[in-house]
Amino acid sequence: MKKLLFFLGCMGTSIMGLAQLQLNPQIGTTYQHLTPTDQNVTFKGAIGWQFGVDARMGNRVFLQPGIFIGRNVTAMTTNLSDTIQYENDLVRTALKLKALVGVRIVDSYQFDLRFVAGPTYDVLLSTDVKGDDRISWNGGDFSKGSFNIDAGLGFDMGLVTLEPSISFGLTRVMNDNITVRDIDSRYLTYGLTLGINFGDDDRRDHNAGR
């Protein structure tokens, strides 16, 4: 909880520190899998969804805090032998808090290209294991949160914004429960969002007058 409050405090300070504010509500997809940890278990990403909002403050160099909620799915195959295997879907809902820094590589009225990167934190809201009931994982086996490093490449065309991104998990997926403490997997998540830009009139006027 202290980590979460610290993260939110940093985001709030960033927003208050700059007057110029651009809001960008977005919706999109995720594709999340886990890094391998056991030769008998394989993970494969599946399509999930996400939505939320971020803010951009600054011109060429800017801050981009944000908050998103997403539902991620990972297919897991466990091989008991050469001929016996069973499959499950790991379904997780999480709140993602972002504190990114970006730079506009191309900065024009018609088209912007920007690169963003920085730390994020995922708060795990719920977990579900669907499929073969021989797997005994439950919500108590997962870490309650995950620190990550995120990076993205954004495209702005007028009021429309598009951003593919990647998130590298730094925290173990599983916690220290005796049944799962040897599983050292991390999250690796790809995302794609489509959104709308609000509140960037001042920056556009600045660009048009250069």
* Cα–Cα dist 148/189, whole Å: 10
Reported as a single tens digit per residue, the pLDDT across 120-173 is 999 999 888 776 565 666 667 888 999 999 999 999 998 999 999 999 999 998
Residue 82 makes CB contacts below 8 A (sequence gap 6+) with none
Domains recognised in the chain with CATH numbers? 2-208 (2.40.160.20)
Using only the alpha carbons of the chain, give its radius of gyration. Answer: 19
Would you place residue 203 in the very low, low, confident or very high pLDDT band (cuts 50, 70, 90)?
Answer: low
Coil vs helix vs strand at 117 = strand
CB neighbourhood size of 207 (10 A): 16
Query: What pTM does this model have?
Result: 0.78
**According to the model, what pLDDT value does residue 38 have?**
67
- Read off the pLDDT band of 183 (50, 70, 90): confident
Q: What is the mean pLDDT of residues 68-73?
A: 94
Q: What pLDDT is attached to residue 149?
A: 98
User: 189 or 74: whose pLDDT is higher?
Assistant: 189
Residue-wise pLDDT for 87-119, tens only, equals 778 889 999 999 999 999 998 878 899 999 999
Q: Does residue 16 have a pLDDT over 50?
A: no
